[in-house]
Amino acid sequence: MKKLKEYTGKRNFLHTPEPAPGIAGEAEVEEGGRFVVQEHHARRLHWDFRLEMDSVLKSWALPKGLPRENGERRLAVEVEDHPLEYLNFQGIIPEGNYGAGKVIIWDRGRYALLEKTSRKIKVVLLGELIRGAYVLIKTGKENNQWLMIKFQ
């Protein structure tokens, strides 16, 4: 899958327990409006926020996690699209591999899309820990920098 070329290019699936795209078989992965937040104990602790969109997981790394209060904004760095199979991934990425460290599923659930443009994604997240409305806004300067803001 072309969209996942960057994901595949950064990883050697003989050495990382992370899923190779399509390994579970796309048919086995039920489609539709899911999200996951993974706590990733890499060189620097961060939280990866992933939204199922266009048959991949659109992904952002948040150094401080998701905003918790209304009006709170957090930096969200857009990273490469991940395969849908990553929704269920947790485990330890061994030293020497891209993103080495422990990955824990911190929350997951479904989302409703309220608005989507190339620079703005507005969603309602219905997870186990997280329930609320959030907007992601591309900040412009750095191409991969977004802000995630809780607004309800």
- Give the footprint of Mn ion on this chain (CB under 5 A): 40, 48
String of DSSP letters for 80-102: EEE-GGGGG--EEEPTTSTT-EE
CB 125 within 8 A of CB 114: no
Task: For residue 69, give the DSSP letter.
Answer: S
Pick between residue 48 and residue 107 the one whose CB is nearest to Mn ion. 48
Pick between residue 89 and residue 111 the one whose CB is nearest to Mn ion. 89
| Shortest distance, position 46 Cβ to Mn ion, whole Å | 6
Neighbour count for residue 104 (Cβ, 10 Å):
13
| Shortest distance, position 61 Cβ to Mn ion, whole Å | 5
Pick between residue 48 and residue 85 the one whose CB is nearest to Mn ion. 48
Pick between residue 17 and residue 151 the one whose CB is nearest to Mn ion. 17
Which amino acid makes up residue 25?
Answer: G
| Shortest distance, position 48 Cβ to Mn ion, whole Å | 4
Q: Could you tell me where the beta strands, DSSP code E, fall in the chain?
A: 34-41, 45-53, 56-62, 73-82, 91-93, 101-116, 120-127, 131-138, 145-150
In whole angstroms, what is the distance from residue 152 CA to residue 148 CA? 13
Give the pair of three-digit tokens for residue 29: 């992965």
Pick between residue 40 and residue 150 the one whose CB is nearest to Mn ion. 40
| Shortest distance, position 4 Cβ to Mn ion, whole Å | 16
